Amino acid sequence: MPSKQSIQLGQVQETLLVPLYLRALESRRKRPILDDSKAIEMVDSIDWDFQRFGQRWRMLACVLRTAVFDIFVADFLREHPDGTVVEIGCGLNTRFERLDNGRIHWFDLDLPDVVELRRKFFTDSDRRTTLAGSVVDPDWMERVRRSPGPYFFVAETVFVYLEERQVKAAIEQIMRSFPHAGIAFDTTSRRAIEGANRDHERRKLAARFAWACADPREIEGWNAGLRLVKSCTMADVPDPLQRRLSLPVRIMSRVARRLFPGVAKAYRLNLFEGQPEA
């Protein structure tokens, strides 16, 4: 058996290993919500203590989140099969492998140490490019502008680690450069952030959530040119995904919506689109 690769990542970047492991666990199930054989391959080759993240409820939430963002991107690809997708804070996600239509242009953006790790498992091509940089640094945008539009940006569990001023700056920069683009990202309430940070502390993860946004409609008031198109919770995921859920999970979702509406709405998955100037 080949030796496993040891890795070194920053505090926030380390969190990318959690969804990787949970996608691999889900993919080993007989009827997975999301099938990710590449995640299994990576987990098997990385030397890291993955075992502390195996709880079923955490796996379900993580996989549902990823699957919802997959649906947002897939909808864009159906309408714009030759457009460009940018995955912000891509980590070790395999969204391109899951959704590639043979025509789309794709950029994976993350910090330099993550990109160094990604290059051990992924190879760029004429339609796929890896960019090293921060979402708050606009230098990477020039490379994306040379790719054909329309454009779609997806940031799965990225902005919550930033301060609100950084989130605003990043979104404003993106929409100035790509004014009619779509962008999908998650938001969460202050109470949910506090709970998540306590959970990170218990699991000995140094990274902490920072940006709280209880109502994603507030972002329309940032004057960045965005309009909220869709917003869902883990308890009301889109219909195509509902059909992949087991009966117990569907029942649990209905119960959560009815008995704990505030908790269910604390974390939201959102799709925005840029608006033309008046």
pLDDT (tens digit per residue) in 228-244:
999 998 878 777 777 77
In a domain, 234, yes or no: yes
CATH value at residue 257: 3.40.50.150
Q: Rounded to an integer, what distance in angstroms lies between the CA atom of residue 103 and that of residue 161?
A: 32
The torsion angles phi and psi of 154, rounded to 5 degrees, stand at -130, 130
One-letter amino acid at 174 equals I
In a domain, 60, yes or no: no
In a domain, 25, yes or no: no
Least confident of 58-67, 208-217, 259-268: 259-268
H, E, C per residue of 63-130: HHHHHHHHHHHHHHHHHCCCCEEEEECCCCCCHHHHHCCCCCEEEEEECHHHHHHHCCCCCCCCCEEE
Mean pLDDT of 58-67: 84
In a domain, 136, yes or no: yes
One-letter amino acid at 247 equals L
Least confident of 18-27, 72-81, 221-230: 18-27
- The yes-or-no verdict on residue 73 having pLDDT over 70 is yes
Q: Rounded to an integer, what distance in angstroms lies between the CA atom of residue 34 and that of residue 64?
A: 8
- The yes-or-no verdict on residue 157 having pLDDT over 80 is yes
- The yes-or-no verdict on residue 85 having pLDDT over 60 is yes
Mean pLDDT of 169-183: 95
**Residue 232 CB neighbours (<10 A):** 17
In a domain, 46, yes or no: no
In a domain, 17, yes or no: no
Domain that holds residue 199: 66-274
In a domain, 166, yes or no: yes
Token duo for residue 65: 């989140």
Q: How many CA atoms lie within 13 A of 260 on its CB side?
A: 11
Residue 1's pLDDT is 44
Q: For the whole model, what pTM was predicted?
A: 0.90
Q: How many distinct structural domains can be found in the chain?
A: 1
Mean pLDDT of 29-55: 83
In a domain, 112, yes or no: yes
